[in-house]
Amino acid sequence: MREQFPILQRKINGHDLVYLDNAATTQKPQVVIDAMNDYYTNSNANVHRAVHTLAGEATDGYEACRESLKKMYNSDKVIITSGTTEAINLVAHAWGKANLSAGDAVVLTEMEHHSDIVPWQMLAKEMNIELRYVPVQQDLTLDMEIFEASLDGAKLVCVVHISNVLGVCNPVDEIISLSKSKGAKVLLDAAQSAPHQYIDFKSLGADFMAFSAHKMCGPTGIGALLVTNDVFDEMQPFMGGGDMIETVSIHGSTFQSNEHKFEAGTPKIAEAIGWNAALKWMQEIDFKSEHKRLLEIARWLSEQLRSMGMTVYGRHDDNDAAVVSFLHPTMNSEDLAHLLDARGFAVRTGHHCAQPLLERLKISGTVRASFYFYNTREEAEAFVKQLSEILERFA
């Protein structure tokens, strides 16, 4: 496994790289790099608009990614976006503007990433929409009583499947069925869950699901919005331009009826080809056993950190992700991360684009170690050893 990721051979400050920043972005296997190189080397052309061989190859490569996503996540419609952020903004503009009116309520949670808060705040201001935030409780769960109460008259519920700060997996089955029973649509932010589990979009029952390729061994700059057929028909084009139209005259335009309607302009061709290679590569992974293995590492690491006097912000229940957020009682997080980097460890610090959650937890940031398929227990052990040495010397 590790040999397939060329970057893992790198030395950082003279030490073997231990990459524990996977919730921010994952590394790319050679097959993904090769697929993108091959496209630029041998097949580079624009899609859809020409009959020549290269254009055909580029089009097939781009559309193959959509087909793989449709199969893998069981979705009728897959709109290719630049990532989770653009996918959520697309829902706000393409669905929100056409289906919400002044006074309507949108339910969010305090656990959302900024990308699932700011677009709604912008829309709320523009359209005079009410935003209702579901609080996060001391035990890091959502307050489901307040959630249920907030559904009264709500048109849309936006919820993160797995928190990028806490690794907590929210009870999305319950959230979706309660929302549906009150007639509200559901947007699932699957940026942190799609990389770790097969999600059957149709069975899950959400209306929208957003995620990014770069968090699942694919390239940056590409992601997807899954949409049900019913909700797809309620969406109005957001960006206008080439590829999304059927006809254009000086009197007006008509639009494509399929996903292209929401993919104006030259799309992310190399990225789609790279992502498709990543999706194929992931088919070899046993998601369930990998989840178990990584969660065990996260549980072990959390215990070690607690015994070193750290506060760990996470619970690591069976469905939670292998994300370990922690704080030292006195030592500055950035200093700690710099000292770890000097020894080859890549961890993230800061607010992780989830300031409302951190406000609720009464902290301004955490140090976060997040694990993916290529991480090992030995790396976690080395992390603990180096961290102990750092604390002995500097804390």
Task: State which residue, 225 or 295, has the beta carbon closest to ligand PMP.
Answer: 225
Applying CB under 6 A, which of residues 85, 170, 319, 366 lies at the interface with ligand PMP? Answer: 85
Beta carbon of residue 353, minimum distance to ligand PMP (angstroms, whole number)? 6
Kind plus residue range of the DSSP H or E element containing 306: helix 287-307
> Residue written as tokens 């069925």?
177
Applying CB under 6 A, which of residues 68, 192, 333, 386 lies at the interface with ligand PMP? Answer: 192
Beta carbon of residue 195, minimum distance to ligand PMP (angstroms, whole number)? 10
Beta carbon of residue 254, minimum distance to ligand PMP (angstroms, whole number)? 31
Beta carbon of residue 81, minimum distance to ligand PMP (angstroms, whole number)? 8
Rounded to whole angstroms, the Cα distance separating 339 from 140 reads 29
Beta carbon of residue 2, minimum distance to ligand PMP (angstroms, whole number)? 24
Task: State which residue, 26 or 75, has the beta carbon closest to ligand PMP.
Answer: 26
- Quote the DSSP letter at residue 322: S
For 150, how many CA atoms within 13 A lie in the half-sphere containing its CB? 21
The pair phi, psi for residue 366, each rounded to 5°, is -140, 170
Among the residue ranges 79-87, 147-155, 257-265, 295-303, the one whose residues contact ligand PMP (CB under 6 A): 79-87
From 65, 158, 217, 353, the catalytic residue: 353
CA quadruple 292, 293, 294, 295: dihedral sign: positive
Task: State which residue, 84 or 386, has the beta carbon closest to ligand PMP.
Answer: 84
Pairing of strands 18-19, 345-346: parallel
For 243, how many CA atoms within 13 A lie in the half-sphere containing its CB? 17
Nearest Cα neighbor of 160 from 141, 145, 178 is 141
Three-class SS of residue 325? strand
**β-bridge partners, 159:** 188
Task: State which residue, 217 or 339, has the beta carbon closest to ligand PMP.
Answer: 217
Pairing of strands 130-134, 105-109: parallel
Three-class SS of residue 31? helix
Beta carbon of residue 143, minimum distance to ligand PMP (angstroms, whole number)? 19
Structure tokens at 328: 């030292």
- The residue type of 154 is A
Q: Does 348 bind ligand PMP (CB under 6 A)?
A: no
Task: State which residue, 215 or 261, has the beta carbon closest to ligand PMP.
Answer: 215
DSSP string, 80-101: EESSHHHHHHHIIIIIIHHH--
Residues 162-191 that bind ligand PMP (CB under 6 A): 164, 189, 191
Task: State which residue, 17 or 216, has the beta carbon closest to ligand PMP.
Answer: 216
Beta carbon of residue 197, minimum distance to ligand PMP (angstroms, whole number)? 14
Active-site annotation holds for 169: no
Binding-residue total with ligand PMP (CB under 6 A):
13
Applying CB under 6 A, which of residues 105, 159, 160, 361 lies at the interface with ligand PMP? Answer: 160
Structure tokens at 239: 């960006």
> Residue written as tokens 């999706």?
279
Beta carbon of residue 159, minimum distance to ligand PMP (angstroms, whole number)? 10
Judge whether 60 and 269 are in contact, CB under 8 Å: no
In terms of phi and psi (left: phi > 0; alpha: psi -120 to 50; beta: otherwise), the region of 254 is beta
- String marking each residue 30-69 x if it binds ligand PMP according to CB under 6 A: ----------------------------------------
Residues 320-339 that bind ligand PMP (CB under 6 A): none
Task: State which residue, 129 or 191, has the beta carbon closest to ligand PMP.
Answer: 191
Residues 99-158 that bind ligand PMP (CB under 6 A): 113, 115
> Residue written as tokens 């293995």?
293
Judge whether 188 and 204 are in contact, CB under 8 Å: yes
Among the residue ranges 77-85, 227-235, 327-335, 359-367, the one whose residues contact ligand PMP (CB under 6 A): 77-85
Residue ranges in contact with ligand PMP by CB under 6 A: 83-85, 113, 115, 160, 164, 189, 191-192, 212, 223, 353
Q: Which residues are catalytic?
A: 353
